[in-house]
Amino acid sequence: MNFLARTWVGEWLTGLGRIAVMSRDAVMSLLTLKVTWKDLVYQIYFIGIKSQSVVLVTGAFTGMVLTAQTYFQFHKVKMDTATLAVVGVSMCSELGPVLTALMVAGRVGAAIAAEIGTMRVTEQIDALRTLATHPVDYLVVPRLLAATIALPLLTIESIMLGIGSGYVVGVYLLGIDPTYLWFNMLKYTGNIDLEIGLVKSFVYGGIIALVGCYKGMSCGMGAEGVGRATTEAVVYSSIAILITNFFLTLVLQHIALMLL
C-alpha cells in the first residue's frame, strides 16, 4: 500500500483532493460575489464567441454523419422517416454535449492551463497574492462561471446545427419525406432529452475550467512545465468528461424516468 501511495495513485488522489479544495474556494468566492464583471464578460467572449468555428463544424458534421449512418441502417427495415428522431435524441442527450465539451476542452482547457501556467512560472500568481488578491477569486472564478454559462449555450447551438444539417442531408441528399422526418423527430425527441444535455454541458463546463485552472496553477517550472500542464489539462478534462458522461447518463435517465 505504501508503494501505491508513492506512485501515480497517490499523485492522482492528491490532485483530486487539490481540485476539490480549489472548487470549494471557488464556490465560496462565488457566493460572496467577488467576481469582477469585466473579467467574466471577457471570459464568456473568449470561451463562447471564440469557440464558434469549432462548435459549428463539430455540430454540423456530427449531425450529417449520424443522419447518413442511421439512414443506411434504418433503410433496410423501411424506417427511413425515423432517422431524424434518432439524430435528435442522440444530439440532445449525448453527442451534442459530449462532443462540444471535448472540442472546447481542446481549445479552451489548453488555453487556460497555458495562460495560468505562464503566470505561475513568471511569478505573476505570487504577485497577485502579494497584492492581497486571492488567485482563485481573480483567475478561477471568472473562468468557472464563464465556462458553465458558455458551454450550455454552445451545446444548444451544436444541437440545433446537428439536427438542422441532418434534416438537410436526409431530405435533399437521401430523399426522405420531409414532413414525416420532422414530425417523428419532434415526436420522439422530448424536452427531457434537451434538459439532460444542458445539465451535462453545465457539468462539463465546470470540469474544463477547473482542470485547466488547476493544471495551470500547479504546473512545473519552465517552458517544459507549461507544455506538460497544457497537455495534461486537455487529456485529463477529456477523460473526466467521458467518465462523468457515463455516470451522468445513468443518474439523469433514472431521474427522467421518475419524473415522467
Closest CA to 92 of 213, 19, 186: 186
Three-class SS of residue 133?
coil
Rounded Cα distance, 24 and 125, in Å: 19
Phi (first) and psi of residue 190, to 5 degrees: -95, 170
Interface residue with other proteins among 7, 14, 69, 122 (CB under 8 A) is 122
Q: Which is nearer to other proteins, 133 or 249 (CB)?
A: 133
> Is 50 one of the binding residues for other proteins (CB under 8 A)?
no
Closer CB to other proteins, 127 or 250, in the complex: 127
User: In the set 6, 20, 123, 222, which binds other proteins (CB under 8 A)?
Assistant: 123
Which is nearest to 40 in space by CA: 137, 134, 143?
A: 143
The CB density around residue 14, as the number of other CB atoms within 10 Å, is 12
Identity of the residue, 124 or 249, whose beta carbon is nearer to other proteins in the bound complex: 124
Q: How far is the CB of 112 from other proteins (least distance, A)?
A: 13
Give the separation between CA 116 and CA 104, rounded to whole angstroms: 17
Question: Minimum CB separation from other proteins for residue 111, in Å?
Answer: 12
Q: Which stretch binds other proteins (CB under 8 A): 56-64, 122-130, 170-178, 183-191?
A: 122-130
- Does 6 help bind other proteins (rule: CB under 8 A)? no
253 sits near other proteins (criterion: CB under 8 A): no
Question: Applying CB under 8 A, which residues contact other proteins?
Answer: 119, 122-124, 126-127, 129-134, 138
